[in-house]
Amino acid sequence: MLNLERLRTLDALARHGSVSGAADGLHVTTSAVSQQMSKLEREVGQRLLAKNGRGVRLTDAGRLLADHAARILSQVELAQSDLEAQRGQVVGELRLSAFPTAARGLFPAVLGALRAEHPGLRVRSRELEPEQGVSGLIRGDLDLAVVLDWYNKPLPVPEGLVKATLLDDPADVAMPEKHPLADRDAVDLEDFADDEWISWPEGEFCHEWLVYTLRAKGIEPRIAHLAGEHHTQLALVAAGLGVCVAPRLGRDPLPEGVRAVPVRHRVHRYVHALWREDADRRPSIRAAVEALRRAGAGVV
């Protein structure tokens, strides 16, 4: 009889590609991963891992068993989901992620509500960018991820994931209060063709969206500064170093000397919850989505 936890360790190794990655994903030590794999090799009577430089790789037998392990673990999760649904209780563990402004703007209310309403549910949360949240769901490291689409640039969602829309998050343009457009009731992105922009780091979905959107309007963006946190971007705006797009979800009070002006042709993000299809019937997923929607209703 194959041990389920050892199959879970093998699955993590196959997904993460290293012992350290598997240990991080499983929240155990590298020694624990190595011990579980040694026991699994004894159980099956074959080598599952081979040395590969400083790391390891799966042998042919290891890859074969890892493929079976992924299917077995999916069926186990489906069975757990069905049992939870039949019992109708919100219990167990729920692992959540959200991009930073959603974590700031939604998680305090959501996690507090889940703790008060469902004391048998253990929730763990973390900040992750949308692409990382999607990857965490696929790997099985997360149960639910809060992600975003921009109105003109959707986030690719792989097959096997379920999506529920939580809220529509408008964005303004933040500029120094002495900017020539700061007294306007509304602006267009084209108005800032000659301004320097403060953007998210290169490679992030929101940075790609900003470049894509400005270029679609015939503007080659002059991106002067990169910052992952919105309050850092706004601090740079306050110093007169450029303008930035400032979504309203999770936005701190504007620093002194900064004005946020709505965009005439509305710029906005759709905020979604994602989870795996095989967990669709879990009451804990449904409870979390409901709490997220309630929190989102009062945001903007």
Model confidence at 89, pLDDT cuts 50, 70, 90, reads: confident
For the beta carbon of residue 186, count every other beta carbon within 10 angstroms.
14
Percent of the chain with pLDDT over 90: 58
Percent of the chain with pLDDT over 70: 97
Write down the mean pLDDT value for the chain.
Answer: 90
**pLDDT confidence of residue 69:** 86
**pLDDT confidence of residue 83:** 67
Which string of DSSP letters, residue by residue, matches 122-160?
EEEEEE--HHHHHHHHHHTS-SEEEEEEETTBPPP--TT
How many Cα atoms sit within 13 Å of 288 on the Cβ side? Answer: 31
Residues 6+ apart with CB under 8 A from 214: 189, 197, 220, 221
Model confidence at 73, pLDDT cuts 50, 70, 90, reads: confident
Model confidence at 298, pLDDT cuts 50, 70, 90, reads: confident
**pLDDT confidence of residue 72:** 84
Specify the range with the lowest mean pLDDT, choosing from 12-26, 182-196, 203-217: 12-26
pLDDT at 17 over 90: no
**pLDDT confidence of residue 186:** 97
Specify the range with the lowest mean pLDDT, choosing from 12-26, 55-69, 91-105, 282-296: 12-26
Specify the range with the lowest mean pLDDT, choosing from 14-23, 40-49, 146-155, 240-249: 14-23
Residue, of 243 and 282, whose pLDDT is higher: 243
Model confidence at 117, pLDDT cuts 50, 70, 90, reads: very high
pLDDT at 84 over 80: no
